[in-house]
Copies of this chain bind each other. A is one copy, B any other.
Amino acid sequence: MVKMLRCIVVLTALVVSAHGLDNGLALTPPMGWMSWERFRCNIDCKNQPNDCIGEKLFMDMADRMVEDGFKDAGYEYVNIDDCWDLKERDSAGKLQADPDRFPSGIKKLADYVHSRGLKLGIYNDFGTKTCGGYPGSLGHLEVDAKTFAEWGVDMLKMDGCYADVKTMPQGYSNMTKALNATGRPILFSCSWPDYERASKIQPDYKLIAKNCNIWRNYIDIQDSWDSVLKIIDYYAQEQDTLAAVSAPGSFNDPDMLIIGDFSLSVEQAKAQMAMWSILAAPMLMSNDLRTISPEFREILLNKEVIKINQDPSGKMGKRVMQETGIEVWSKSTADNKLAIVFLSRRTDGIPTNYSIILQDAGATSDGTYEFVDLFTWKSLGKFGKRDTMEVAINPNGVRMLLGTPAKTAA
Measured CB to CB, the residues of A under 8 A from B are 36-40, 42, 51, 222-227, 261-268, 286, 293, 295, 347-350, 394-397
Grouping DSSP codes into helix (H, G, I), strand (E, B) and loop, the A interface class, with mixed when no group exceeds half, is: loop
Question: How many copies of this chain does one complex carry?
Answer: 2
Most chain B CB inside 10 Å of its own CB: which residue of A262, A266, A396: A262
Which residues on the B side are within 8 Å of A396 (C-beta)? 223-224, 262-263
**Nearest CB in chain B to that of A345: its residue:** B224
Cross-interface CB contact of A267 among B39, B263, B267, cutoff 8 Å: B263
Q: Which residues of B contact A261 (CB under 8 A)?
A: 349
Determine whether the beta carbon of A395 is less than 8 Å from that of B349: no
Task: Check if A262 sits within 8 Å of B394, measured CB to CB.
Answer: yes
* B residues near A264, Cβ cutoff 8 Å: 265
Report chain B residues within 8 Å CB of A394: 262
Q: Let me know if B350 and A39 touch, CB within 8 A.
A: yes
B395 and A350 contacting across the interface, CB-CB below 8 Å: no
B51 touches A347 (CB 8 A): no
- Indicate which residue in B38, B223, B225 contacts A263 across the interface (CB closer than 8 Å): B225
Closest 5 CB pairs of A and B: A222-B347, A224-B347, A262-B396, A263-B396, A223-B347
Cβ 8 A contact of A40, one of B37, B268, B295, B349: B349
Asked if B350 and A42 make an inter-chain contact with CB atoms under 8 angstroms apart, the answer reads yes
A209 to B394, CA, bound (A): 38
What's the minimum C-beta distance from A164 to chain B, rounded to whole angstroms?
28
